[in-house]
Structure 1
Amino acid sequence: MSGLELLSDEGYRVDGRRATELRKVRGQMGVFNQADGSAYIEQGNTKALAVVYGPHEVRGSRSRTLHDRAVINCQYSMATFSTAERKRRPHGDRKSSEMSLHLKQTFEAAVLTQLYPRSQIDIYVKILQSDGGNYSACVNAATLALVDAGIPMRDYVCACTAGFVEETALADLCHAEESGGSSTLALALLPCSQNIALLQMDARLHQDHLDTLMEAAMKACKDLSKVLDNVVRQHLQEVSVLIRD
C-alpha cells in the first residue's frame, strides 16, 4: 500500500489498535455550572465539549413554536486551535451548518420532545481538538450533557464511525484513517432498541460490504453505550457524596 499503511500485515492500525477496537474514551459531566447540563468527552485525540440549555420558552419568531413538542436547536463549531491548520471558522459556514442539522436530526429521534410542548432545548457543541470522528464525539458529549440537564431520552444516543480498508472493517476511525480515501460510515444508534437515529456515508461502497460495515459500527456504538453509562453512574456517585456531605 502506497503512502501511510493504515493496516499492517499483522492486523494492527496506525495507532496500534485492532480492527474493531475503540480509541480510549474518557468523559466528564457537569463541567459548567452556568448551563442546565454540560459534558466533556475525549475519544482518542478528539475532544468535544457540549452544553445544554432548557427547556425554556422559544426565542425569536413565534412561528418556530411547536404546540405538541419542543424545538431542538443545535449549534456546532470548531475551535480555531482544534486542528494543525489555524484558520477562522465562521459559525455559519456550510460544514458547521450541515453538522448542526445532523445533530438536530439525531436528537429529535432520541429526546422525548412531546413532554415539553411550546418550548425549546438548545444544544451547543464545540470541537476543541480534532482527530477524526467529530460527529461521533459531538453526539456522545451532547448525550451526556442532556442526561446532566435531566432531559428525558428514549435511550443513550451513541455514535461511532466505521470504514473499509483493505477488505477489513475498521471501527472508530482516527483522522489518518478518515483521510485515507476509504468509504466511511457514521452511525448514531439507540442501543437498547437498536433504532438508528442517523446514518451517513461519505463515499461509494459496494453493497456486499455494507452489512459488514454496519455490523462494525453497531458493535462500536454498543460498546460506547457501556462507557457512557459508566460515566453517568460515576457522576451520580460523586453528586450523591456531595449531597451527603
Structure 2
Amino acid sequence: MEYVSLEGLRLDGRRPKETRQMRCAMGVLPAADGSAEFRAGNTRVMCAVHGPRECVNRGERDDERAIIKCEFSQAAFSTGERRARGKGDRRSVELALVIRQALEATVLVHLAPRSEINVMIQVLQADGGVRAAAINAAVLAIANAGIPMKDTMAACSAGYLDGTPLLDLNYVEEGGGGVRVHVATHASRGDKVVVVQTDNKASVEVFEPVHALAVEGCAVVQKVMREAMIEHTSILATLRGREAL
C-alpha cells in the first residue's frame, strides 16, 4: 500500500507534517470532579477524574504525597475488531501505567498528602493516536478538577512510512508496520519531554527526525488544549457572574 502519494498527500488527504482536526471539551461528566473529551480525527477518548480524596486502601496511603490511580479501557465497539478490550488486558494495563507515570511527573502531588486521585479513561472510538489522546484527555480532566499541575502537558505521535516522517498517524497508517514514536511534553519548560516510547526498532537516522516531528506535534496539540481551557474558564466565569447578580 502506498501511504504517501507522488503529490505528497497521505491516504486521508493530509500533508506529512499535518495533524488531524482536534476538538476538546471539558466538564462533560457532571458526576465527576473533573472530566474531559479529546478527539483527533475519528479517535475519541473520554476521561473522568475523582479526587483528591482519602485513600480507600490505607495501606497505599503516602504521608508525603497523593497517589495517582489510572484505569484505561477501550470499548469493544471502538474499532472494527469486535473483541472486548477491558481494563484488565495487558495493553490496557501497560497504557494505564504510562499515563500514570506521565501524570505523576506533571501533577503537584505533594500538595495533597495521604490522598488519592483516580483517573478513569475510556476509548469510545479508536482510529490511531489513542495513547496520545488518552494523555491529553487526562490532562484536561485534571485541569477541570482544579488539581494543581507544575505545567500543562500535551502528547502526540509520529511515524515513518514510505521513507517519510508522518505526524499523527491514523489507524491505517499505524498498521503499516513502520516506526512509531509517542511523545508527551511540558509546554512552558522548553518542550521538556516527559514520555517517549517507540514501536518497532529504528536507526538513529530514522528515529531523530520522527522524534523531532512528534515534539513539534505536541506544540500544536498544546495550542488546541490551551484554547479549550481558556474557553471553558471564560464560560465558567460568565455563569458565575450571572449567578452573583
Into which bin does the TM-score normalised by the smaller protein fall?
over 0.9
CA RMSD between the two structures: 1.0
Instruction: Give the AA of the match of 1:69.
Output: R
Q: Which runs of 5+ in 2 are unaligned?
A: none
Structure 1 residue 155, shift from structure 2 partner? 1.4
2:110 paired residue among 109, 114, 135: 114
Structure 1 residue 91, shift from structure 2 partner? 2.1
Could you give the per-residue CA deviations for residues 134-178 of structure 1, whole angstroms, max 9, x where no partner exists?
111101111110100001112111111100112221111101111
Which residue number corresponds to residue 173 of structure 1?
169
* Partner Cα separation in structure 1 for residue 59 and residue 240 of structure 2: 42
Which residue number corresponds to residue 234 of structure 2?
237
Structure 1 residue 217, shift from structure 2 partner? 0.4
2:150 paired residue among 137, 151, 154: 154
Secondary structure (helix, strand or coil) at the match of 2:92 reads: helix
Instruction: Give the AA of the match of 1:102.
Output: V
Structure 1 residue 33, shift from structure 2 partner? 1.1
* Partner Cα separation in structure 2 for residue 180 and residue 215 of structure 1: 20
Q: Does residue 137 in structure 1 map to residue 133 in structure 2?
A: yes
Secondary structure (helix, strand or coil) at the match of 2:119 reads: strand
* Partner Cα separation in structure 2 for residue 192 and residue 157 of structure 1: 9
Q: Does residue 50 in structure 1 map to residue 41 in structure 2?
A: no
Q: How does 1:46-85 map to 2 (within 5 A)?
A: 46-60=43-57, 62-85=58-81
Structure 1 residue 182, shift from structure 2 partner? 0.5
Deviates more, 1:160-169 or 1:118-127: 160-169
Could you give the per-residue CA deviations for residues 27-71 of structure 1, whole angstroms, max 9, x where no partner exists?
1000111110000111000000001000001112x2211111110
* Partner Cα separation in structure 1 for residue 56 and residue 192 of structure 2: 31
* Partner Cα separation in structure 2 for residue 70 and residue 112 of structure 1: 9
Secondary structure (helix, strand or coil) at the match of 1:104 reads: helix
* Partner Cα separation in structure 2 for residue 90 and residue 39 of structure 1: 20
TM-score, reference length from structure 2: 0.96
* Partner Cα separation in structure 2 for residue 6 and residue 167 of structure 1: 10
Structure 1 residue 187, shift from structure 2 partner? 0.6
Which residue number corresponds to residue 95 of structure 2?
99
1:31 paired residue among 28, 31, 40: 28
Is contact 1:38–1:50 with CA below 8 Å preserved after alignment? Answer: yes
Is contact 2:158–2:180 with CA below 8 Å preserved after alignment? Answer: yes
Percent pairwise identity:
39
* Partner Cα separation in structure 2 for residue 98 and residue 19 of structure 1: 29
Is contact 1:109–1:197 with CA below 8 Å preserved after alignment? Answer: yes
Is contact 1:50–1:126 with CA below 8 Å preserved after alignment? Answer: yes
Is contact 1:107–1:197 with CA below 8 Å preserved after alignment? Answer: no
* Partner Cα separation in structure 2 for residue 234 and residue 90 of structure 1: 33
* Partner Cα separation in structure 2 for residue 89 and residue 141 of structure 1: 19
Which residue number corresponds to residue 215 of structure 1?
212
* Partner Cα separation in structure 1 for residue 45 and residue 87 of structure 2: 16
TM-score, reference length from structure 1: 0.96
* Partner Cα separation in structure 2 for residue 202 and residue 129 of structure 1: 21
User: Hey, which bits of structure 1, 4+ residues long, moved more than 4 A?
Assistant: none
Which residue number corresponds to residue 204 of structure 1?
201
Instruction: Give the AA of the match of 1:162.
Output: A
Secondary structure (helix, strand or coil) at the match of 2:87 reads: coil
1:125 paired residue among 112, 121, 125: 121
Q: Which runs of 5+ in 1 are unaligned?
A: none
Is contact 1:38–1:52 with CA below 8 Å preserved after alignment? Answer: yes
